[in-house]
Amino acid sequence: MAEKETEENNKAAAIEKPAEGETDGEADGEKLELPELGPFETIIGQRMPSLFFKFQFKNVEYSSGRHKTFLCYSVEKQGTDCERSEGYVEDEHAGTHAENAFFTDIFTECDGSLSYSVIWYVSSSPCAVCAAKLAEYLGKCPNVQLTIFVARLYMWEEAEIQQGLRKLHGAGCRLRIMKAPEYNYCWNTYVDNEGEAFVPWEDLQESSTFYEEKLNEILHHA
């Protein structure tokens, strides 16, 4: 099995280091202000149409026509109070990808005195550039725990993609493959399902197992 989708080769990332003299947010409870990098064409919402989810998150071998990235997120902030927010981001590939839009439009500052649990459910795994930038971000914000569940591995046979995923894993990101429980959770949490139950497609489990094996090979065999 291999990813056959055609996507932009320059999948740009936009998570930058703070400017010289700014705090990295690791000490004394200082706030990390992420730079403004817009405007970008991104769609942010609470629940996506069910047809979008069924098509974009399907873990098929041939993913032709799936040129967007859909990212469902959950952010839990823990400190004096516990706050939780959730929704989804859909990119239009007009200057940024959903991974970056999350940090420019949603998670726009990081308080070093708090801890954050961030969980993503993404239609495909990050490209090499996005993975490297995410690893860089996690390196300077150790109070952010990022877990990424992916439906499909993007161009997993490419050496630079594999290196990017290993770099992200090494930075502490928990990389996982979506399985039936994650699909069911997303369906009930992020999809306008009109009361319908999630119905797994025939080869969902088989495809999840395949991608899980490939991801384990990539992360643990340099």
Catalytic residues: 99
Strand, helix or coil at 10? coil
Only one residue has tokens 């069911």, namely: 184
| Cβ contact 99:128 at 8 Å | no
Q: How many CB atoms lie within 10 A of CB 149?
A: 21
Question: What is the 3-state composition of the chain as percent helix, strand, coil, each rounded to the nearest 5?
Answer: 30, 25, 45
Strand, helix or coil at 44? strand
Give CA–CA dist 60/144, Å, rounded: 31
In the structure encoding, which two tokens stand for residue 127, read together?
């490209």
Q: Which amino acid is at 116?
A: Y
Give CA–CA dist 16/185, Å, rounded: 32
Residues 6+ apart with CB under 8 A from 217: none
The angle subtended at Cα 97 by Cα 39 and Cα 40, nearest 5°, is: 10
DSSP letter at 192?
E
- What element of type H or E holds 78? strand 70-78
